Structure 1
Amino acid sequence: MKVLHVNNVANVPVGLVEGLRKIGIDASLYQPYTGINTSGKLSKLKVVSNRIADVRALRSKIARERYDIVHIHYAFFGMLGVLGGYPYWLHCHGTDIRRNLYHPLFKTVTKISLDRAERVFYSTPDLKIHAEKARADAMFIPNPIRTELFEPRGFEGTGNKVLLISRIDKIKGIDVAFRALERVKKDNPELQIDALTWGPDLDRFKDCGFVNFIPKMTHEELARLIPNYRVVVGQFELGIMGMSEMESMACARPVVCHFEYQDWYTEAPPLALAKTEDEIVERVEELLEKPDLCEELGFAGREWVVKYHDYVAVAERLAKLYAGG
């Protein structure tokens, strides 16, 4: 079987492609043009021109390479398949249906992309209601975590380091996270709080003074970084775990975040649950004070991710669907 994944969203396709290769499937990843600079007439024309060229290039590649499955990521990118005239499977990841399915500018192309797809997948529990509204047969596929890359490496950090792993984005609940972490810092002046330099709301927080911002890094560098923190802080708005939270769990680090879907899995994920500012402060400070609890929660999280989100297991599940199972 020969499979092409299109558009790398949050490194999910990377994990799926690697997992499929592990089980003997000829899988590869194609990155289409994603430029969105529309300032000025010439820039707008360039975007349109590049997208048209990309549709043609991808269509030619698919015809030449004779793929059995074309698996496209991010809902409105399904238009590549619609315009290219080939069958495709469509994988939804978040804003692409949570917002775009109702957005005046994007809802039409999103709906067409979903309607024309052979199969539709969604990646987090909160997307079920949106995906099934458009496609009653939409199916949940767990996000693949590369558990051989994100693994416990031996805790080499000190007891006073916290990592905010979430993207600096309002939709991730970043405002309540920063308010809580500022209080934690005041209670623990020696504490080092780090965050990654990425996200649309970065400018609002980059000069806050109590957080050290680390330059954005590769996935491999991130896997080496995470194990050196006592506590990892995730997102608090949508009630879900993203790739970053689960990658941190795979590194056996305790994760503080808001998760609403405790019944989604046979076993609830072992998280330090929090939503409000007070709850976040309480959970982080409790973990800082109790190293044994950190290790217990961290290794339980690692076992849970391996059981429910290991990239090879997810790839095996996907391969059965590709084969008609």
Structure 2
Amino acid sequence: MGGARRALGIADWTARRWLRSVESDLLHVHFGTRLDVVARRPRKPFVVHYHGTDIRTFYYDPSQRDKIQWGADNAAAVVYSTPDLKPHAEAARSDAVYLPNPVNLAELPSWDPSTVPVVVFASRWEGSKGGEQQLELLEEIRRAVGPQVRLQGLDWGDGAAAARERGAELVPRMPKPDYLRWLASAHCVVGQMSGSLGMSELQALGIGVPLLANLKEGYYPGPLPVVTGEGKESLAAGVLRILDDPLAAAGRLQPREWVETHHHPDVIVERLAGIYSGLAQAG
């Protein structure tokens, strides 16, 4: 019975998506491999929106490359969601545009640090997130803070077992509201070591939690809302500074205010409307 309901739900969603695509003047395709609607007739102008693995990984997979390149070649515009994707997106389409991820501030809980100091590693443990550096930093932080601080991370990614062995308390993947409350329980959140801010890091900033990250120079407008450093020792020292007075750290960094300025949905919608308007004028 459950399988039948699921099949009916998928069929209903597919039919509604197809109807809306026929009625629309412009289609916006999220993820570079999901091109089935725009590849059918009648053809409509479309925007391709890269989100990460699609253009960073799948684009270099021979079994996926032609499909993704077809989308880039035939799209009215191509946008990408994080600055680290720039060289990959521009390899597919030279005029690809950075469109920052919007953060739904209304869904974020209030920052409510737990009674016991907690450092949360927000990303899954894998190479695209700087997995090996995360593991090295985890070890360094464990040495620096001692056993009185809980180091938590997701039980997710090919490096999860290694993270557990190196001192992380792993929690299962969870529904989004629970995940956001988990971030809000942290005294400090450690971001991915890829040099950019993923959605998890942006959500932590929007909640107001002090964030440690190794952002690449020029990726984001300053003043940066994060504690950063060069090398694992410097980054671990940054965690210690945050834990010494998390409220003061948040006050200095102003993380939520930075997200409101640069990633509020109204800001991103205005940018996207500008892209749509330009396409309409060109067409």
- Short-chain TM bin: 0.7 to 0.9
- Confirm whether residue 306 of structure 1 aligns to residue 260 of structure 2: yes
Give, as a single letter, the amino acid of the residue that structure 1 aligns with 2:261.
Answer: K
Unaligned runs of 5+ in 1: 1-52
Show CA shifts across 1:269-318 (max 9, x none).
Answer: 221113522222111122112335422245x1110000000123212322
Residue in 1 aligned with 2:172?
215
- Confirm whether residue 194 of structure 1 aligns to residue 148 of structure 2: no
Give, as a single letter, the amino acid of the residue that structure 1 aligns with 2:237.
Answer: E
Give, as a single letter, the amino acid of the residue that structure 2 aligns with 1:245.
Answer: E
- Residue 77 of structure 1, CA deviation: 1.6
The number of equivalent residue pairs is 268
- Confirm whether residue 140 of structure 1 aligns to residue 87 of structure 2: no
Would you tell me which structure has more helix in proportion to its own residues? 2
Residue in 1 aligned with 2:124?
167
Whether the 8 Å contact between 1:255 and 1:272 is mirrored in structure 2 is yes
Q: What is the alpha-carbon root mean square deviation over aligned residues?
A: 2.7
Looking at structure 2, the residues matched to 174 and 159 of structure 1 have their Cα atoms a distance apart, in angstroms, of 26
Unaligned runs of 5+ in 2: 1-10
Looking at structure 1, the residues matched to 38 and 155 of structure 2 have their Cα atoms a distance apart, in angstroms, of 34
Looking at structure 2, the residues matched to 232 and 105 of structure 1 have their Cα atoms a distance apart, in angstroms, of 37
Residue in 2 aligned with 1:271?
226
- Residue 177 of structure 1, CA deviation: 1.9
Looking at structure 2, the residues matched to 85 and 203 of structure 1 have their Cα atoms a distance apart, in angstroms, of 49
TM-aligned CA distance change 1:150 to 1:262, over 3 Å: farther
Alignment of 1:143-292 (within 5 A): 143-150=101-108, 153-158=110-115, 160-187=117-144, 188-205=146-163, 207-208=164-165, 210-236=167-193, 238-262=194-218, 264-265=220-221, 267-274=222-229, 276-292=231-247
Q: Return the match for 1:73 from 19, 24, 30.
A: 30
Looking at structure 2, the residues matched to 79 and 158 of structure 1 have their Cα atoms a distance apart, in angstroms, of 49
Alignment of 1:1-40 (within 5 A): none
Range 169-178 or range 75-84, more displaced = 75-84
Please report the TM-score for the alignment, with normalisation by the length of structure 2: 0.83
Whether the 8 Å contact between 2:111 and 2:207 is mirrored in structure 1 is no
Looking at structure 2, the residues matched to 186 and 134 of structure 1 have their Cα atoms a distance apart, in angstroms, of 44
Whether the 8 Å contact between 1:233 and 1:255 is mirrored in structure 2 is yes
Residue in 2 aligned with 1:106?
64
Whether the 8 Å contact between 2:140 and 2:232 is mirrored in structure 1 is no
Residue in 2 aligned with 1:317?
271
Equivalent position SS for 1:145: coil
Whether the 8 Å contact between 1:121 and 1:138 is mirrored in structure 2 is yes
- Give identity over the alignment, percent: 28
Looking at structure 2, the residues matched to 178 and 289 of structure 1 have their Cα atoms a distance apart, in angstroms, of 23
Looking at structure 2, the residues matched to 180 and 214 of structure 1 have their Cα atoms a distance apart, in angstroms, of 19
Whether the 8 Å contact between 2:183 and 2:204 is mirrored in structure 1 is yes
Equivalent position SS for 2:35: helix
